[in-house]
A and B are shown apart, each in its own frame.
Chain A
Amino acid sequence: MTQKEIELILSRHLAEYLAMPIFIVDPGGDMVYYNESAEIILGFRYVETGAMPASEWSTIFNPVGLDGTPMEPEEHPLMIAIIEQHPAHKRFWIRGLDKNKRLLEVTAIPLIAQADRFLGAIAFFWEVPE
């Protein structure tokens, strides 16, 4: 199948028009799209990287919990939304590719479509002012 499901296409359209960083992952956790605001956090552009495997994006920022403990990939809200198929929210630290430390709030929502089709998840990021 060449084409994405329509719900993913519409999610991408929404992400392109919104100003907050947004990540979209497929049912396997691979990142299929991130918007321009997310590019600032990631440090590279979607047109350059295309899709990104879960093993890559979930560790690339060195996420650290508020208590200073490194987060396992499956603790990331996006992965919780994928694995458990329910919404997840978390505040944690990352170190972006620009080497700056950022405090983020992340809300991830599973994308469950008509006829009980599980299509992945979408995550909204907020940078929390220190």
Chain B
Amino acid sequence: MKVTLWGTRGSLASPGPDTLRYGGNTTCVSVEGSDGTLLVLDAGTGVRNLGQLLPPELDRVHILFTHLHMDHIEGLPFFSPLNNSDVTVTIFGPASTTLSLKRRVIRYLSPPLFPVNVRELLSDLRFFGLASHTIEIGEFTITAQLVIHYNPTLGYRIQGPNATLTFLPDHNPALGVESFPHSKEWTSGYDLAEGADLLIHDAQYTDEEYQTRVGFGHSSMSNAFRFAEFAGVKQLVPFHHDPTHSDDMLDRTFEDLYEEMAPQYEVTPGKQGLVFEM
């Protein structure tokens, strides 16, 4: 599988001279299979660049939303396959008993928030709500599970023929826990991440920032490291960087953390444009 980071930023797009290396686009990751299957994990502003580079013969795309906060969906109407009548776009996201996934996406993709309505899009658009499900898409087996964030949010474990990717961009497994981590059974996201080859995980705050943002649904960088260790992953990609964090600040913080925590697994801070071949 080929995993590409198109947007690594959380909360708000933050382009500018201070974010050139880690990137300013909000959450979007693509996963390509050797059989041509294309998965798009969230559609933040990074998804626009992905859409522009897709091959013209592409006829099927699967978008997996972790949740519907703006930084994860705002790029959707700018994703070019949605306006191609030859393409089937299947959108998965958290299920709700009160409003279908399609109707919740329409809340954004309709006036006055957006000038174009979903029914005006040309692609064959399909929606499926997920809660605790395992689905097969091409060569991938995908397990979705609800995880701790603010508002119902999914995490994904994507099993390919040769490797496993876990995607938890917005996740605070340490919420309400005195000493984190404390048990596999009671830790959000554990089953999704256990033994993964690559874990892309929320690392939005420094420890100092986290103290005043408990309950915001995001992890501190150090808790992301602890979670990766606990789950026995092979490689961690700290991700969903805070919009106020500059490249230099992130470099320094990750260097300090690496020295302090001495992880027994590889750590590759999430930078826009990074590609992982597994």
Chain A interface residues toward B at CB < 8 A: 1-7, 9-10, 12-13, 16-17, 113-117
Which 7 pairs of residues, A with B, have the shortest CB-CB distance?
A115-B131, A13-B176, A3-B191, A6-B146, A3-B190, A115-B95, A114-B131
Contact call A114/B145, Cβ cutoff below 8 A: no
- Of the residues B97, B146, B175, B184, contact of A5 by C-beta under 8 Å: B146
**B241 CB, min distance to chain A CBs, angstroms:** 25
Question: Which residues of chain B in 61-98 are interfacial with respect to chain A, using CB atoms and an 8 Å cutoff?
Answer: 94-97
Contact call A114/B191, Cβ cutoff below 8 A: no
Question: Which residues of chain B in 96-153 are interfacial with respect to chain A, using CB atoms and an 8 Å cutoff?
Answer: 96-97, 129-133, 145-148, 152
- Of the residues A3, A12, A114, contact of B96 by C-beta under 8 Å: A114
Total A-B pairs in contact (CB under 8 Å)? 56
- Of the residues B94, B131, B191, contact of A117 by C-beta under 8 Å: B131
- Inter-chain CA distance A16–B183, complex, in Å, is 15
Nearest-CB residue, chain B, relative to A7: B146
Knowing that A3-B184, A3-B188 are A-B contacts, what are 6 other residue pairs whose CB atoms are under 8 Å apart, sorted by A's residue number? Answer: A3-B189, A3-B190, A7-B146, A10-B148, A13-B177, A115-B133
Residues from chain A with a CB closer than 8 A to the CB of B191 are 1-3
Contact call B95/A6, Cβ cutoff below 8 A: no
Contacts A13-B176, A16-B176 given; does A2 touch B132 at CB 8 Å: no
Between A and B, 20 residue pairs with Cβ closer than 8 Å are: A2-B184, A2-B185, A2-B194, A3-B184, A3-B188, A3-B190, A3-B191, A4-B186, A6-B147, A9-B186, A9-B188, A10-B148, A12-B186, A114-B95, A114-B96, A114-B97, A114-B129, A114-B131, A115-B133, A116-B97
- Inter-chain CA distance A17–B191, complex, in Å, is 25
Contact call B132/A115, Cβ cutoff below 8 A: yes
**A6 CB, min distance to chain B CBs, angstroms:** 4
**A61 CB, min distance to chain B CBs, angstroms:** 25
Residues from chain A with a CB closer than 8 A to the CB of B166 are none
**A11 CB, min distance to chain B CBs, angstroms:** 11
- With an 8 Å Cβ cutoff, the count of chain B residues facing the other chain is 26
Contact call B146/A13, Cβ cutoff below 8 A: no
- Inter-chain CA distance A17–B131, complex, in Å, is 26
Residues from chain B with a CB closer than 8 A to the CB of A116 are 97
Interface centre among A9, A10, A113 (most CB of B within 10 A): A9
- Inter-chain CA distance A7–B132, complex, in Å, is 11
Residue B187 interfacial (CB < 8 Å): yes
Contacts A13-B176, A114-B146 given; does A6 touch B188 at CB 8 Å: yes
- Inter-chain CA distance A16–B186, complex, in Å, is 13
Contacts A13-B175, A17-B176 given; does A4 touch B185 at CB 8 Å: yes
Residues from chain B with a CB closer than 8 A to the CB of A7 are 146
Residues from chain B with a CB closer than 8 A to the CB of A10 are 148
Residues from chain A with a CB closer than 8 A to the CB of B133 are 115
